[in-house]
Structure 1
Amino acid sequence: MESFAPTQPVATLDAEERGAFVIRVYQHLLLAIGAFVAFETVLFQTGIAEAMFDFLTGASSAWLLILGAFMVIQWMATSAAHNLENEGLQYAGLFGMAAGQALIFAPFLYYVFNDPKNGSGSVAAAAVITVAGFAGLTVVAFVTRKDLSFLRPMLMWGGIAALALIVVAVLFGFQLGIWFSVAMIALAGGAILYQTQQIMARYPSHAHVGAAVQLFASVMMLFWYVLRLVSQLRR
């Protein structure tokens, strides 16, 4: 999570201001999702998604380059989205994150759409599961009185371990199975719980774009691994 200048967090404001902040956050989360769909459509219509899939199929180690580039884009976009002094940079970060997610998803979605055992049905099923899971986790985060800050070290360790496993799998050519997808779904769910509480406890009322970007990254990770699990189960 980003560090902020010492400003009044949303949790200390009255109910009306807290409600207005939450509405702005989820409006911008929907904006990021809409931008992702738009970018993805362009990648498919122009043939870039197919070209990325062919490139990665021919050189599996290229996934490391794509992953590295995505991590740089994600870091830059997150930093820009949390620049509270420049609203233009915040929106650049939001759309930059949507574009980065569209690029990393493009070859995977192309594979699923063109797999006879999966196709659009798997994508639709994964989208529904992701929305339902996100809604449920959001409700839990808002209504629970338990402080979920204890999740932070576990999420950090889980993220580092997952990244190491992905790199090793790419380098040595072995498959990460169904249980890895299940574990990553749990990790994404934990991130959504933690971040939902934190944006209320730590973010000032004018940091809604940064909050939306944080949630968007976790929602997309949840969608990725739900779709991966659905496609694995249908093979």
Structure 2
Amino acid sequence: MQTLVSQATDLEKAEFYKKTYGHVALAILAFIVVETVLINIVPEQYIFAMFQQKFTWLFILGAFWLASTLANKWTLAQSRSTQYMGLGFYVLLEAIIFLPIMYIAVGYTGLDVIYQAAILTLALFVGLSAYAFFSKTDFSFLRSIIVIGGFVALGLIVAGAIFGFNLGLWFSVGMILIASASILYQTSKLKDTYATDQYVGASLQLFSSIMLLFWYILRILMSRRN
């Protein structure tokens, strides 16, 4: 019988949080490795085709949404091997989605902007997580904001891809706010939603929010270099 984190002993809670954030760190490390490999082996013309052809990019986004839903389902399966397959699959998906922006960042602005984005993302994630843990605030109200904001953002992204307009700085700022709200929400619900053996699924949710935050911080920093 599964035990919710909120009903577990202090030792079990500590072990759950240790494993959850340990898996987040491993997912980030795996992302770095996979992204580095992809940048070095995928031909340049295929990378540029991902964002130069608007319908190709829409297809990729649609496939990512469907596949990420499947990956999330796998991470909450009973089988531990299926859980890890889901997390690994999601890391691969993120690496593919990030390929164009990382290629441009490395080729045109250098690694400095990636390091800066990574440091800012880490600092913001740590600060938000600490606030969610120690403030004792119930962030469940953020769920509706995140869902509505996510659908609005998706609509704008699709419209921008079809009609060819740039979403601009304020869109990126808005997405950073949504990602930050998601981190607060996901962190606060760890104890109430997950069982003590579902740390792989919990780590995927946090990892996805971190990557969304990193994407838009990187976009803002890159726009400032142009």
TM-score (norm 2): 0.96
Matched residue, 1:68:
62
**Does the CA contact (< 8 Å) of 1:112 and 1:122 recur in 2?**
yes
Instruction: Tell me, yes or no, if structure 1 residue 223 matches structure 2 residue 223.
Output: no
Seq. identity, %: 38
AA aligned opposite 1:170: A
Matched residue, 1:105:
98
**Does the CA contact (< 8 Å) of 1:52 and 1:107 recur in 2?**
no
AA aligned opposite 2:12: E
Shift of 1:47: 2.6
Query: Residues 123-176 of structure 1, C-alpha deviation per residue, up to 9 Å, x if partnerless?
Result: 110000000000001100100111110000010000000000000000000001
Matched residue, 1:11:
6
Matched residue, 1:35:
30
For residues 224 and 54 of structure 2, the distance between their equivalents in structure 1, rounded to whole angstroms, comes to 23
Q: Once superposed, which parts of structure 1, at least 4 consecutive aligned residues long, lie more than 4 Å away? A: none
**Does the CA contact (< 8 Å) of 1:52 and 1:106 recur in 2?**
no
For residues 129 and 169 of structure 2, the distance between their equivalents in structure 1, rounded to whole angstroms, comes to 25
Aligned length: 226
Residues 60-209 of structure 1 mapped to structure 2, 5 A cutoff: 60-83=54-77, 85-115=78-108, 118-209=109-200
**Does the CA contact (< 8 Å) of 1:36 and 1:99 recur in 2?**
yes
For residues 166 and 89 of structure 1, the distance between their equivalents in structure 2, rounded to whole angstroms, comes to 32
For residues 139 and 52 of structure 2, the distance between their equivalents in structure 1, rounded to whole angstroms, comes to 43
For residues 74 and 51 of structure 2, the distance between their equivalents in structure 1, rounded to whole angstroms, comes to 33
For residues 23 and 34 of structure 2, the distance between their equivalents in structure 1, rounded to whole angstroms, comes to 16
For residues 53 and 47 of structure 1, the distance between their equivalents in structure 2, rounded to whole angstroms, comes to 7
TM-score (norm 1): 0.93
Query: Residues 171-213 of structure 1, C-alpha deviation per residue, up to 9 Å, x if partnerless?
Result: 0000011000000001000000000111112211000000000
Instruction: Provide structure 2 residue ranges, at least 5 long, that are not aligned to the other structure.
Output: none
For residues 44 and 211 of structure 1, the distance between their equivalents in structure 2, rounded to whole angstroms, comes to 29
Quickly say closer, same or farther: Cα 1:91–1:51, change in 2 above 3 A: farther
**Does the CA contact (< 8 Å) of 2:139 and 2:188 recur in 1?**
yes
Shift of 1:57: 4.8
AA aligned opposite 2:171: F
Matched residue, 1:45:
40
Shift of 1:7: 4.0
AA aligned opposite 1:105: F
Q: CA RMSD in A?
A: 1.3
**Does the CA contact (< 8 Å) of 1:53 and 1:108 recur in 2?**
no
For residues 215 and 46 of structure 2, the distance between their equivalents in structure 1, rounded to whole angstroms, comes to 17
Pick which of 149-158 and 57-66 moved more: 57-66
**Does the CA contact (< 8 Å) of 2:38 and 2:99 recur in 1?**
yes
For residues 216 and 58 of structure 1, the distance between their equivalents in structure 2, rounded to whole angstroms, comes to 27
Instruction: Tell me, yes or no, if structure 1 residue 59 matches structure 2 residue 50.
Output: no
